Structure 1
Amino acid sequence: MVKETAVEVIDLTKTFKGKTALQKVSFTVKAGEMVALVGASGSGKSTLLRHLNGLERGESGVVKVFDCSLQSEGKFHSKIRQLRSNMGCIFQQFNLVKRLTVIENVLVGNLGQISLARSAIRYFTKAEKIQALSALERVGILDQAYKRASLLSGGQQQRVAIARCLVQGARIILADEPIASLDPESARKVMELLGELNQENGITVISSLHQVQMVQRYFSRAVALKQGEVIFDGSTSDLNQNRLNQLYGSAAQELVLSGHGE
């Protein structure tokens, strides 16, 4: 059985103030794949992720989500909000509303499916609350549901963000350096959770990561960027020290310093 294409990027190009951020980036991710974006600082990983979910508009090229063009040649699809609902986003700084409770933050994942009037007063049905509690149980923090988000540890906050993606019904999770702010044990738990959601729920995961050790531990495929260009797309087992030195020169050291999980 041939898996459908979850994300397809064709010749995506972006410049900021005359400087190239993405240069004819092309790659395809099948539904159910787990792919790491690798690269030294300034390589274009975060910029690419923002284009995949329509937070940034490219100057040329195409981004397709489940065979529908999210953006093409500098223009967004007229139903971009609907297309975005397929994708949940996880950020390095969690992007939670700290004054709200954990369950309220998770319920925000439903905002694309409820009326503006209900979202304005944060009114959610019993069924929606049960769904949110189920998501929190899935990520292992059900006991934190009614605490303010600001009281949680970094690892717990990141799991709230993942639960929000589950309530959203995301078929794709885009994670931008999701463990960069976490201690090694919290980082391990978050990466294992993303792996479980990929394996057990079939959720496609595309994540930028800084440490190649973590990439090799949790991913079988990597797309490596340098100055906005794809310079490698293949098995993470091929990203050994020699290959990294060939690709990045002295900057390779930035990717292999001992860190999370080591």
Structure 2
Amino acid sequence: MTNTLAIEVNNLSKSFKGKPALEKVSCTIFQGEMVALVGASGSGKSTLLRHLNGLHSGDSGSVNIFGTALQTDGKNHSKIRYLRSQIGCIFQQFNLVNRLTVIENVLVGNLSRLSVFSSIFHLFSKEEKLQALAALERVGILEQAYKRASMLSGGQQQRVAIARCLVQGAKIILADEPIASLDPESSRKVMELLVELNQQSGITVVTSLHQIQVVRSYYNRVIALRTGKVMFDGATVELNDAKLKEIYGAAADELVMRGHSDFT
């Protein structure tokens, strides 16, 4: 971790149909940190992630990426495309194109640097293809490179999404419930891979999760949200069961992981 600010959120608020989703959320995340966003359903953790990459625009407040404004008071800034190129996103449902091969899905990470013509016709150079193969090797699925994405297991598809972030050259990875659809073994492999990228490559990782045991196994820092407000921001060891109960009441039970015994 460095002293460079990767993400800075200041008084970010957002409402949907008059219902607050985020209320004056503020936090700072430094380059090289690995931070978990936790909360019961409807807490605002996924909404916050979508503001960090500009998929949603806030009603007020600001988001800065590496010291440059991504959005301020609902307006995206002129450098938003450049800033997005530094942010890789991983979703619960993988967001792959099933009819394309694995390597083609990974190469999509290069689209922000390609011309419109090359993007439309998927014209990739030999160097770009070698880069994609190297990324697939790093995430452990090189042998799947020329299979259709639809033929892969959920865990393998999530690793394709991570490889796409690597090809993109992402300095920040935002992962929205990346293991929610996976079995325990695949979940562990994905989490270990995110830790490896964080520790070996210094990639900042921000992950929304609802399984507190996973958070305790892999994250040193946690930001807990409830009804769109930050209720806790600190060391994971300090977010014990009593603190969870204090923040969430009966809803704390939702954060106790079930069915993933490998993490307990």
Instruction: Name the TM-score class by shorter chain.
Output: over 0.9
**For the residues of structure 2 that align with 1:248 and 1:86, how far apart are their CA atoms?**
34
Q: Partner of 2:173 in structure 1?
A: 173
Runs of 4+ residues over 3 Å off in structure 1: none
Q: How far off its partner does 1:2 sit?
A: 5.3
- Once the two structures are superposed, what CA deviation does each residue of 1:15-66 show, in whole Å capped at 9, x if it has no partner? 0000000000000000000000000000001100000000000010010000
Does structure 1 residue 48 correspond to structure 2 residue 48? yes
**For the residues of structure 1 that align with 2:114 and 2:2, how far apart are their CA atoms?**
34
**For the residues of structure 2 that align with 1:91 and 1:219, how far apart are their CA atoms?**
19
Q: How far off its partner does 1:258 sit?
A: 2.2
- Once the two structures are superposed, what CA deviation does each residue of 1:212-238 show, in whole Å capped at 9, x if it has no partner? 000010000000000000000011111
Does structure 1 residue 57 correspond to structure 2 residue 62? no
The alignment partner of 2:182 has SS state of coil
**For the residues of structure 1 that align with 2:229 and 2:28, how far apart are their CA atoms?**
15
Residue 48 of structure 2 aligns with an amino acid whose one-letter code is L
Q: In the comparison of the two structures, how many residue pairs are matched?
A: 262
The alignment partner of 1:110 has SS state of helix
Instruction: Could you tell me which runs of 5 or more consecutive residues in structure 1 were left unpaired when the two chains were aligned.
Output: none
Asked whether the equivalents of residues 2 and 32 of structure 2 are also in contact (C-alpha less than 8 Å), the reply is no
CA RMSD of aligned residues (A): 0.9
Q: How far off its partner does 1:14 sit?
A: 0.2
Asked whether the equivalents of residues 40 and 252 of structure 2 are also in contact (C-alpha less than 8 Å), the reply is yes
Q: How far off its partner does 1:259 sit?
A: 3.1
Q: How far off its partner does 1:129 sit?
A: 0.1
Asked whether the equivalents of residues 136 and 163 of structure 2 are also in contact (C-alpha less than 8 Å), the reply is yes
Q: Partner of 1:91 in structure 2?
A: 91
Residue 88 of structure 1 aligns with an amino acid whose one-letter code is G
**For the residues of structure 2 that align with 1:243 and 1:3, how far apart are their CA atoms?**
29
Instruction: Could you tell me which runs of 5 or more consecutive residues in structure 2 were left unpaired when the two chains were aligned.
Output: none
Asked whether the equivalents of residues 198 and 204 of structure 2 are also in contact (C-alpha less than 8 Å), the reply is yes
Asked whether the equivalents of residues 100 and 148 of structure 1 are also in contact (C-alpha less than 8 Å), the reply is yes
Residue 126 of structure 1 aligns with an amino acid whose one-letter code is K
**For the residues of structure 1 that align with 2:135 and 2:116, how far apart are their CA atoms?**
23
Q: How far off its partner does 1:76 sit?
A: 0.3
**For the residues of structure 2 that align with 1:153 and 1:76, how far apart are their CA atoms?**
36
Q: How far off its partner does 1:79 sit?
A: 1.9
Residue 157 of structure 1 aligns with an amino acid whose one-letter code is Q
- Once the two structures are superposed, what CA deviation does each residue of 1:117-149 show, in whole Å capped at 9, x if it has no partner? 011011100000000000000000000000000
Q: How far off its partner does 1:161 sit?
A: 0.1
TM-score by length of 2: 0.98
Q: Partner of 1:121 in structure 2?
A: 121
The alignment partner of 1:162 has SS state of helix
Asked whether the equivalents of residues 2 and 30 of structure 2 are also in contact (C-alpha less than 8 Å), the reply is no
Q: Partner of 2:214 in structure 1?
A: 214
TM-score by length of 1: 0.99
**For the residues of structure 2 that align with 1:35 and 1:253, how far apart are their CA atoms?**
21
Q: Partner of 1:143 in structure 2?
A: 143
**For the residues of structure 1 that align with 2:35 and 2:50, how far apart are their CA atoms?**
16
Asked whether the equivalents of residues 6 and 204 of structure 1 are also in contact (C-alpha less than 8 Å), the reply is yes
Asked whether the equivalents of residues 211 and 259 of structure 1 are also in contact (C-alpha less than 8 Å), the reply is no
Q: How far off its partner does 1:73 sit?
A: 1.1
**For the residues of structure 2 that align with 1:46 and 1:2, how far apart are their CA atoms?**
26
- Once the two structures are superposed, what CA deviation does each residue of 1:171-216 show, in whole Å capped at 9, x if it has no partner? 0000000000000000000000000000000000000011000001
The alignment partner of 1:97 has SS state of coil
Asked whether the equivalents of residues 103 and 145 of structure 1 are also in contact (C-alpha less than 8 Å), the reply is yes
Residue 83 of structure 1 aligns with an amino acid whose one-letter code is L
**For the residues of structure 1 that align with 2:257 and 2:251, how far apart are their CA atoms?**
11
Q: How far off its partner does 1:240 sit?
A: 1.3
The alignment partner of 1:187 has SS state of helix
Q: Partner of 2:233 in structure 1?
A: 233
Q: Partner of 1:3 in structure 2?
A: 3
Q: Partner of 2:112 in structure 1?
A: 112
